[in-house]
Chain A
Amino acid sequence: MAFLELKGVSKGFGEGPARTEVLTDVNLEVEEGEFIAIVGFSGSGKSTLVNLIAGLTMPDKGAISVGGAPVRGAGPDRGVVFQNYSLLPWLSVFENIGVAVDAVFPDWPKDKRNAHIERYIDMVNLTPATWKRPKELSGGMRQRVSVARALAMDPRMLLLDEPLSALDALTRGTLQKEFERIWAKDRKTVLLITNDVDESILLADRVVPLTVGPNATLGKSFDVKLQRPRDKTELNHDAEFKHLRNEIMNYLLGLKSERNEQQLAALPEPPKLKPRAA
């Protein structure tokens, strides 16, 4: 049995005619220690998928299990890095991570707790900003705090919900490198949600595209067998990388045009009008 399993998961929102089925019949198996990336267009239901796995929302149909146990709610065994950081603005970097550490390891003595927090702040290179509040940090720094907070909980798996999509290209590049470095250290199970195909290939062992919503589901998966550590600039000239990228891109674009055709076909036939004879 795989570490993370989704079987026939469906989820929709709203009622009556306003109801939209966001995800339909999603199946996924992730092995322990695997780094998996889900790529999809915006609005295809990526965040809904993360919320389902995190246990923040419950599926309408189907079952989700982590480590063999069905998901009944949110819990610290699945560390979530939210798209908009979700840091508590009235607490410093240290305190933000402290809240998480206290919740997961309530019995730790003070020294151990503080050392643990400092280690994770150091891991994301934020030691000089230890006592700053989120307002005083840049977007990239805030996202690092969010990552440090998730890691400090020592979760069995990490859920990254478009962690880099709000950042500029340069900061993105730096953080991608850091993600790989941190992941290489303890090889936790990671599920990364992204809209960036390059990013998914750079980081993941396996890339799974999410089809266009509504009624989105997971498409066929692409294994990434590139050697680690991967370097972004070198990869740009790597034939296998280019091939993989084109394949995924074409797959995604194909999904999109297929959906567009379906939508066009669903439109009612326009009435045939003829200009009146003068």
Chain B
Amino acid sequence: MTKQRIIRILDVAGLKVFEPLVRLATGEDPKEQLRLLGMYFLLPALAFIAFLAAWHICAINIVTKYGTLPTPAAVWVQGSNLLESHRQTRANEAQFYEDQQTKSAEHAENAVKLRTLAETMESPKKEKAIEAAEKLDEKATEALTKKFSASPTYIDQIITSLYTVFAGFVIASLIAIPTGILCGMSRAFSMAVNPLIQIFKPVSPLAWLPIVMIVVGALYTTPPAEAWFEKSFISSAFTVALCSLWPTLVNTALGVASIEKDHLNVARVLNLSSSTRVRMIVIPSALPFIFAGLRISLGVGWMVLIAAEMLAQNPGLGKFVWDMFQNGSSETLAQIMVAVFTIGIIGFLLDRVMIVLQRSVSYDTTVAT
């Protein structure tokens, strides 16, 4: 029973490759399970090794103006360097705040001492001492409010990128899902907006970005000190949204338009109001389609984001790649390759998460007992 349950969970999570391990652990047909393990793990591992070997051979033979291309080993080293420098910066930061705290405590202590001393003094000197003590108090609070400043580490860049892509993805979904529902429900609306959708769908993020930047510059006039978001962040988020909303829109429209007629008949027999109909029947029925669209949208958004960040100079992986390119050395080239792998792996993980969400909402795959 529990075995079936674990296998089921693995299946829903899209981790079917681990199924033979579970079966093997319970001693089920070891020969077949080992064969499957070979298929799922050994073959991909072999292919990856072959890829690394090919890369290595190419790398040592291609000479650029910064020397030969980085080999897999060099990239690995740079990867650990980036992590190490992240750790170092965090350690520095912690040290900095600790130092500030001791400094502040020292000032405060001195101020107290000075005040007690002032009590024993004559009038003109006394005032001066108290004044000095107040200055020390100020210094103490100042030390506590001082912020650590360092250029963002690699991990910071990743977090910024994720944050930006999610912001863009949310904006895209908020536009695409309602519009898609309208398209699916009203033929007239669909006919009206279809040309616009078809024209804007293939536009590259690089074409959108300048327009978005200028519009954001014109409309977002809050002074930087009071602003919640930076302009560059808003520009890249909106660019991501503009490029990634189409798959969700088209899929939602398709899902809504292909609702079974029987289900709509049920709504008519029950005389459901249009809002109840959308809530109770249209959305649940189209949900698997909507999530399939969202999954593609997130993938597109992640791909677009790197380009947008490069151009908008918004902190993030895209800017990191651009900066490393400008620095131009064999090490930075290796760091760009680290970024390539990071972008790939994060994209893969985002896709997995969306697959799990997609499966959890699709009522069609529920296995009959």
Chain A residues proximal to chain B, CB less than 8 Å: 54-56, 73-76, 78-80, 82, 84, 86, 88-91, 99-100, 103-104, 133, 135-136, 153
Contact = CB atoms under 8 A, between A and B. Distances in A.
A136 B262 contact: no
B271 A82 contact: no
B364 A89 contact: yes
Interface stretch (B4-12, B159-167, B197-205, B278-286): B278-286
13 contacts: A56-B265, A78-B269, A80-B265, A82-B262, A86-B260, A86-B266, A88-B266, A88-B285, A91-B284, A99-B266, A135-B363, A136-B366, A136-B368
Contact of A90 (B262, B266, B270, B363): B363
A201 B174 CA distance: 57
Given A88-B281, A99-B280, A74 B262 contact: no
Contacts of A54: 269
Contacts of B363: 89-90, 133, 135
In the complex, the 7 A-B pairs of residues with the closest C-beta atoms, listed nearest first: A86-B262, A103-B270, A74-B268, A90-B363, A90-B284, A89-B363, A74-B269
Contacts, number: 60
Interface in B353-369: 363-364, 366, 368-369
B263 A74 contact: no
B270 A153 contact: yes
Query: Chain B contact residues (Cβ within 8 angstroms of A): what range?
Result: 20 to 34
The winner among A79, A99, A153 for most chain B CB atoms within 10 A is A99
Given A82-B266, A84-B262, A103-B270, 6 more contacts: A54-B269, A56-B268, A82-B265, A86-B266, A88-B266, A89-B364
B211 interface: no
Given A133-B363, A135-B366, A88 B284 contact: yes
B366 A103 contact: no
Label chain B's interface by main secondary structure.
Answer: helix
Contacts of B276: 103
A174 B285 CA distance: 32
Contact of B269 (A76, A90, A133): A76
B193 interface: no
B268 A73 contact: yes
A79 B281 CA distance: 18
A91 B366 CA distance: 12
Given A99-B280, A135-B363, A136-B369, A88 B263 contact: yes
Interface in B249-269: 260, 262-263, 265-266, 268-269
Interface in B263-304: 263, 265-266, 268-272, 276, 280-281, 284-285, 287
A25 B368 CA distance: 45
Contacts of B260: 86
